[in-house]
Amino acid sequence: MAKSTPPGQAAQAAATGFNSTDSGPANDPAGGKKEGEGVAKAAAVGKMAAAMPHNPNKQAEHGRDKALTPPEGASVQPPSRDATGSTLAEKNHTEKYGKPAAPGVNAAGGSLERVRADPEGQPLTTNQGVRVSDNQNSLKAGLRGAALLKDFVLREKITHFDHERIPERVVHARGSGAHGYFECYEPLSSLTQASLFAEAGKITPVFVRFSTVAGERGSKDTARDVRGFAVKFYTDEGNWDLVGNNMPVFFIQDAMKFPDLVHAVKPEPHHAMPQAASAHDTYWDFVSLMPESTHMLMWQMSDRAIPRSFRMMQGFGVHTFRFVNAQGESTFVKFHWNPKLGTHSLVWDEAVKISGADPDYNRRDLWEAIESGAYPEWELCVQAFTEEQAEAFSFDVLDATKIVPEELVPLQPVGRMVLNRNPDNFFAETEQVAFCAAHVVPGIDFTNDPLLAGRIHSYVDTQITRLGGPNFHELPINAPLAPVQNNQRDGMHRQAIHRGRSSYEPNSLGGGCPHQAGTQGFVSFPEPIHADEVRGKPEKFAEHYNQAALFYNSQTEAEQRHIAAAFRFELSKVTVPAVRRRVVSMLRNASEELAAEVAQGLGMELPEAMPRALAKTPKPEVEVSPALSLTARQGDAGIQSRQVAVLVADGVDGAAVWDATHALQEQGAVVRLVGPHIGAVTPREGPAIDADASLENHPGVLFDGVIVPGGPDAAKRLAADPKAREFLTDQFLHSKTIWASRDAEALLRQAGITAQDEELPGIFVTAKGGSKALQNFVSALGHHRHFERERPAA
């Protein structure tokens, strides 16, 4: 019989349970700072909230006399600054986002300090600074009379509310962001004069926004889609925006086709379906008539389109850019971001289920990692090569549907990026940040990539519409740290107040200032041009399939299975058979094996291969590149920030629960105690366990691994719970790491895990715990997934 918790004794909770943003223990924490900043903050918040058990002014809202003399609003002195802060990460700062707001100050430079606002100890006011006496009632002609038009307080409040939304981005509407810094490894003066690469150890503040592409602002995080990876560097010579994706290529070669692509992938205009999905007729109709998209389709149908975390995906600049050094010498360059945690993905069935259980899955993951101090980190690498090298390649480096394989030009690490602070306000920072491919600094320049040329124009244009005018650069999140001096004036929402009468150059009435900087300013690379004005593409752009084959052939067997399954799923949603046939005919030029597997899954005959645009296919330099597989980068952070569920129920072995929990937390894992309900669970011995998540609100798809501790009574209760069975089934089918006590054998069998399956990688069933069993679990968890367990579709 399980023992109950003695009266007055609080149930014990996992420290990491208090860092969650969507569920938590039933009781306030008993521990303090020694248990971690998250626990201390939770304790302070709990104390502050408990100090105001009700609204003491509620009675004063009624009656004429009270209406004439409304009381001062109630307030509570916070036990600590953390209690009222947006994020524990505010202790981290750079020159851009500065230090935390001072108590009670709204400080309206480039640093965000000037616009931080904190209402601590202050009364409510209107936007004009007039103190609001009563925020409960509108002004009326008598207690039961009509509301009065002269109530300027109500009118201001309602009017502002009615205008709080702004147009969302046409693409990349759904995004999540964070602040951080870039640190240069060594000077790159031989390649570029860009100041952020000028010296070892130089720190440059950054803001990064990750996004999906097709979905609207309120869509799900786990859609099969390209992910935006945009970095704003606040350099001392101006802002540089490296606006890329988590895939190094794109669907089209020329910006002329960008509106067509987006129109095709967006919800179909006659019924506005589907949302945040490419599995529909118009998308596949378009790309199947654009064979240059074949390479990108391989990436999009791969596991890279459903990343486990923003923190676990690569980023790419996509285009070929130029580095230009102080001597005016140019080198072609491509940019790569490689995550410290390695490259890891979801599987499709898991992604679909997560979208229902937690549509904010990737956003929450990024926020909670930074809050807990597990700061995401990427290494910036470049591929630098000469124009002469580029001319010798079988492909054109100005073609955005092509990569430069690492075997031809190895990656050169040049620095690292760390994201160590969450935004204080999502709208003011993540929503209002404006990236633009045209934002470059001296030492970085453009090439003649025809897709890049269109992006240089389009991004400025869309920000003017979205942010209400040409002064979006003055929004605090967009303002550079470098001084801004020019003669641009007026326009909507102008912030700067310019001194003097001259707003032109040259001038004498302003002392000639601001004057052009000459060679100290940005000087475009003087590329010689000897050509006619034509609408067309270079001959090398006509080769569409070599690199699609390269990507597919470089994947592991499991990754290839997932690509085939993704094509089958997407094309099964297409209602026009001719479009399906066209796509499969295109695939035959990249992989006969893949085309046959897709055709079989769609119940169709294998069509003839699509005619090639190029009569003679050039021989590719590289036919297999291991670096293109996600498994090439497993990461070096162990199990840090991995989400582990420990299933608990009445009668569980309490000692086993805490042994595993504490050991995993010491190695940086996030442990959640998951019970049939949140709150007290009575173990076989020891104090009650405070479950901070439930089988109902945290299904198995939200975790990287699961532990089922011993305790016959607990195991029996879990085996009788359909949600527990589903939890284990999903963990098993999604190739995750499972460690269960032999007491839970019935639960395992009901979850579809056979005695033979217990011999498979990543599954551990033990009669008792111990350090050896825990070590095996930790080692397996560090591998992320065990795709050897996958059972291929019949």
Binding residues: 169, 209, 258, 455, 459, 466
Backbone angles phi, psi at 708, to 5 degrees: -115, 95
From 378, 391, 389, 366, select the one nearest 341 (Cα to Cα). Answer: 378
DSSP output for 382-447: EEEE-HHHHHHSSS-TT-TT----TTTS--EEEEEEEEEE--S-HIIIIIT----TT---TTEE--
Geometric angle at alpha carbon 629, from 627 and 632, rounded to 5°: 60
Q: What is the spatial distance between Cα 479 and Cα 493, in angstroms, rounded to a whole number?
A: 14
Q: What is the spatial distance between Cα 44 and Cα 50, in angstroms, rounded to a whole number?
A: 10
Residue 563 is inside which H or E element, if any?
helix 557-572
From 551, 601, 538, select the one nearest 573 (Cα to Cα). Answer: 601
Q: What is the spatial distance between Cα 574 and Cα 285, in angstroms, rounded to a whole number?
A: 9
From 108, 92, 474, 37, select the one nearest 100 (Cα to Cα). Answer: 92
What is the identity of the amino acid at 670?
Answer: V
From 634, 564, 549, 638, select the one nearest 602 (Cα to Cα). Answer: 564
Tokens (6 digits) for 682 = 């009575």
Per the omega criterion (within 30 degrees of 0), is the bond before 676 cis?
no
Q: What residues pair up with 331 in beta bridges, in sequence order?
A: 323
Residue pair 9/27 in contact by the 8 Å Cβ criterion = no
Q: Does the active-site annotation cover 245?
A: yes
DSSP output for 306-330: SBS-GGG--EE--S-EEEE-TT--E
Q: Does the active-site annotation cover 486?
A: no
- 19, 92, 93, 172: the active-site residue: 172
E strand residue ranges, 96-252: 175-184, 203-212, 227-235, 238-245
91: three-class secondary structure by DSSP: helix
Q: What is the spatial distance between Cα 641 and Cα 368, in angstroms, rounded to a whole number?
A: 9
CA torsion, points 321, 325, 330, 335, in degrees to nearest 10? Answer: -20
- 19, 245, 362, 420: the active-site residue: 245
Which residue ranges make up the annotated binding site for heme?
A: 169, 209, 258, 455, 459, 466
Q: What is the spatial distance between Cα 469 and Cα 231, in angstroms, rounded to a whole number?
A: 23
Q: What is the spatial distance between Cα 492 and Cα 468, in angstroms, rounded to a whole number?
A: 7
3-state helix, strand, coil in the chain (%, to 5): 35, 15, 50
Residue reference for tokens 């601001």: 514
CA torsion, points 128, 132, 136, 139, in degrees to nearest 10? Answer: -80
Tokens (6 digits) for 784 = 């992320």
Q: What residues pair up with 227 in beta bridges, in sequence order?
A: 212
**Residues with active-site annotation:** 172, 245
